[in-house]
Structure formats: structure tokens, C-alpha cells
Chains A and B, each alone.
Chain A
Amino acid sequence: MKKIRLIIQREYLSRVKKKSFIIMTILGPLLMAAIWIVPFFLATMSDEKKVVSVVDETGIFFEKFQSTDKVLFVYEVDLEKAKDNLSKGNYSGVLYVQKLSYSIPDQAVLLYSDKSPGIVTQSYISNAMQNILKNNLLVNAHNISKEDFDKINSTNIKLNTEDIRTGEKSYTEIKTGLGIFSGILIYFFIFLFGAQVMRGVIEEKTSRIVEVIVSSVKPFQLMMGKIIGVALVGLTQFVLWILLTFSIITVLQFSMPDVFKSAQTEQAYNPGQKLPSADQVQLQKLQNQEIRELINGLFSINYGVMILQFIFYFLAGYLLYASLFASIGAAVDNEADTQQFMMPVTIPLLFAIIMSNFVINNPDGPVAFWLSIIPLTSPIIMMVRIPFGVPVWQVSLSMGLLILGFIFTTWLAAKIYRTGILMYGKKVSYKELWKWLRY
């Protein structure tokens, strides 16, 4: 036991002290915080005001566009003159609506010269045009009052789902995001740290230190020491990432509160709705409510339990695969030879990631159930399902089978490992591995 502790200690310290670990530990949270924060910054960065000239042959849109602080609309009759101004750079674009033989126009052209107008501007214009058209049809052709039209236009149903047992709302989008995110994180961790175990074994084999060590400790102790040591490295990295990401975001939020505040109102602003200011306020309210819902949704997840479950599935899933990775490392002489044996280890993981999209749409279906019970795919698929709530018996069954699974793979891998590490200069085939299993 003391020897395993020594091995764990060496494996752990030698990795944690590496530059690459320190860099990863710092870069990871920066990246994650950036993903979270950059949209806020982008939202606050205002583009220069665009001037769009409207050349409307139908007359329906004349003076109907609402200029914003991003887009200013001017109206012109002569297309050639407008084009001329456009090429001189006076306009960012020219919106040309051709008069057609039938009464309702269904297309328009947005001309531009040096810079294509952004997708936001485009959708703003097309939304605005649709509204103007609707308005035109309803108010003018069908004599509907302006108030009624505004009411019609501002109808908006948000469908909330609620669990009747707990009264909790289900917040499907948030759970989808969270499920997929944790599934991918598990996948990523298993590969990252599984490969580290494999490389460690190859390193010991190629540097020929392994025979010195196995004369002091059992091969199984060496293998387990390495696997546990690397697991602790992974755990350390994960915990550091969570802590650092959280503190970076908190610090930024406190040091630049206006960015986040103004960003929230910016994001709530929805272009393309031509509404009187009173209605705009109401819309604002509606969207603030959506943000609150989002926050409520984020808070509705039981993070304590989820992080614990994540740590369990990460560790158990990693243990299941790490011993397989270790035995691959033991069977080959260099990293280039690992390819042929990586396939069967990679396929279940890849399969799980591909299926997670399917599972997320039907988190209680039979596919989701079986894939979250079978140990080879359960670490990923169960993590995808967990935000949606999984019956306790299923989680227990899955955890139990996963533990049995990793005991089995470790037992299997140890047999290959102890023969493989003392085998040099031999290209190993699957047939050979089968023989080693039966020694």
C-alpha cells in the first residue's frame, strides 16, 4: 500500500509540475470565461451607424421604416442616383423594392458596394418590411384599428412546462445545454487523461525503467498507481477550472458592472418590431422576464448533486477506460503503433457522443435508458440525462454496473499489461493479446 502511494505521488507530482498542466489550468478557465463574457462585450460594442437609402417603387414603405441608433433610413426616388451615392460611400446600402404587376411585393434587393451588410441589419430590414406589409394589409385593406394591430403584433406565448409532483418548471433548453455540455466534458476528460496514462506506460516501456520498477513492485500496483495518480491530476484540473472560471467571472462582473448591465438591456432590445414606445417598454418587461426565467432555470438545477454525479461518472468512466488505455500502452513499443488498438476503445465513446444528440430529444426513451445503463457509454449518456431528472433506481443501476465494469476492464487490462510491459521489439496482434489474456 505504501508503495502504491509512492507511485501515485510520483505520477501526480510529475504531471502537476509540468508546464503544460499549468498552462492548461490557466487557459481553460480563461477560455470558458471568455465564451461567457465575449457576447456581452460584443453586444455593447456599437457598430458605426449605417445609412440605408430606400428606393421604393411601390410606395408602400415610404417613410415607414423606423430608424434606430444603428440604422438610419433615407428615402429616394431615383435608383441611379442612389447607386451613385452608394458607390461614393455616402450610403451603406440601397434597398430597392421593384413595382411588380401584382399588388403585394414579396421581394426586395439590398444593394451594397464595399461591405456586405451584417446579418443583423438584414434581418432587421426584412422584419421591418414584413411588419409594414402586414400593417398595410390589415389597417388599410381590412380597416383594423392601429391599437388592434399593435395588439395582434405583440402577441407572444411562452410555453412553460411544470413538474406536477414538485411544481418545478422544467426549463428544457437549459437542461439540454447543461446535459450536452457535461457529456462532452466527460468525453473530453476520458480521452485526455486516458491518453496520458497510455503515454506514461509507453514512456516507462521505451525508457526501459519498467523492469527496474517491477522488480520492486507488482505490475498491477504500478498500473493502478499510475491510473489513480492521473485521475487525481484530472480531478485537480477540473476543480481548479471550476474555481478559476467562477472567480474570473465574478471579478469581471464586479470590476465592470456597467458592461453587464447595459449588455443585458442591449440583448433585450429586439430590432424589427415597429412599436410605439409604450409597447417597447412592455416588450422590455417581457424580455426581462425571460432573462429572469433563464436565471431561475439555471438556479433550478441542483448543482451540488450534479457536480457529485459528474465527479462520479468522470472518475468511474475514466477508470473503466484508463486501464484499457494502459494495456494498449503496454502492448506497443511506441505511440505510432497504438492506432490499431485505439479503435475499439474509441468507438463506444464516439458512439455515445453521437447518440447524445438523440438522447437529449428523448431523455426517457429506451435508447437513452439502455445507453445510460451499459457501462461503456453510461458515463456520457447518463450525464446528458441527469439534468432532466433520472429515477434513482436507474442511476443506482448504472453506477453499480459502471463499478463492475471498471473492475472487469481493470482485471482484463492488468493481464495484458503485465505481459506487455516486459515485451520489447515485437509487433503485437490481437491474436497475441488474446494469448496474453489466458496466461
Chain B
Amino acid sequence: MLSKLLTPKNLRNLVIILVVAGILFLAVSGYLTPFFSFTVSPFISAQSWMSQRYLAFSDFFNSPRDMATLRSENARLENQVAMLQSEIVALQENVAQSDILYTLLDFARSNPEHEYIAATVIGREVSPYLQYVIIDKGSNDGLRHGMPVVTQQGLVGRVDALISDAARIQLITDANSVVNVKLQAAQVEGLVRGSITGEISLDMVPVGTDVEVGEVLMTSGLGGTYPPNIFVGQILTMQSKENVLFQTGSIQPVVDFSSLSAVLVIMNFDAVDISPLVP
């Protein structure tokens, strides 16, 4: 029986199986690693060399197309960034405009005796000798000649001329502007005049009146041009010359006229024209 199984053919197969199993066992157990390293490393080196050359070759032919793609992508992203930046600027402008309008709204709420309409300043006078601004509200919005114009800080001027959708405002800094004011602490009245250079000054304050620097000026309501109790400015300096009846002074206006962007027009005040009564 055993002699039948141990034929030369079977014996050869058995030896082969044992050798293969032995080699597998040695390989799995790590005894053949130095051998594999020695025999495989040339192939790996060759494979690596060939792969690197192929990649370089592939990059050489494909890179222009990638550059074009990258450039177009870059241009698209740059456009997107520019668009977002312009949106940010627009939003910042909106926030600034909203802040101004909220402040004007607060002013309107704290002075409920008047009716207001908000307007945006859209232009300034052409001539440097005159101090006027143009606003985006006109007769269609109910504006009329002579209506006072204010901001949350104080008096701005009055409506001088208007068309259907715009109006021209004479600022209190204009050379032709005169505002009747009262000095709160000194309990006297005077006139605030504009000038050709856009500065305002106090006039017609009787000599002998003790006027403090920093004193607040408010409209008196005399003359019927402006309603009373609107802030106009503060006294910077006072001058009193000999042999004159009145003191004069320079005024710091409470409104920054150089950065005027939004105003309120007082709608329920009709200016009185007293010029026919002036002798």
C-alpha cells in the first residue's frame, strides 16, 4: 500500500509542496526579508525611475492646460472677491446712512412739536462764494419756500428754492443769512450772520453784557424765519471795541457743514416774511 503511494511522481510532488510550504513559512516568518530586499530592490528602483520619468513627461504635456484652468479659476475668484468687496462697501455705506437716519429719527422723536421729513444732500453750490446745498425732496413732498432745515445737532438753514423733486437750502453760513439767536446764560439776544468764507459770527450783542466763551446759542424765534430753541452754535471768542454799541464774536457751529449728508425739513413751520414791515 505504502509502496503504491510512494511512487516517484508522488514523491516529487510531495517534495515540491514541502519546499513551497517551507518557503512560504520562511517568508511569512520574516526570514526571507533580506533575500527579498536584495532581489526586489533593483526592480523597485527601476519602477520608481520609470514612474518619475512618466510623471515628468505627463506634467510637461498637461501643465499648460492646468495653468490655463488655474488662471481662469483665479480670474473668477478675483472677480468674486471684487464683487464681495464692493458689496461690503455698499453695506458699510448703508450702515452709515442708517446710523444717520436713526439719529435723525431720535431727534424727531425727542422734538415731537414739529413734523419732519428726512432728505439726503445730493449736491453743493457751484460758486465758492455762496453756501447752499441741494436736497432730494421738493414741492412734490410738501416742501415750501422758507421751511427751516435742521439735523440732530442743530440748525442748518432754510429752503431757498425748489422744484418738484429737489430743493436748494441756504445754509446759515451763507453771507446773506441772518439768524436771530438768544444766549441762554446771559439772557440776551443777538444775530448770527454768515460770511463769504462760510464762517458764522455773532453780532448785535449790547456792550456791557457779560458773555462767556462756550456759551450756547439757540434760535430765538424773532423775525419769524426760524422756530425757537434750535441749537445754532457755541461762542468761541468775543470782541468789544471802543465807541461801538454792540459786541461781536466768532461762533463754532454745532453742525459740521462740510460733511452734511442728511437733513430734516420742519414741515409744520411757515416762515413769516416781515420785509414789507421793515422801514
A and B pair up: no
Which A residues have a C-beta under 8 Å from some C-beta of B? none
Which B residues have a C-beta under 8 Å from some C-beta of A? none
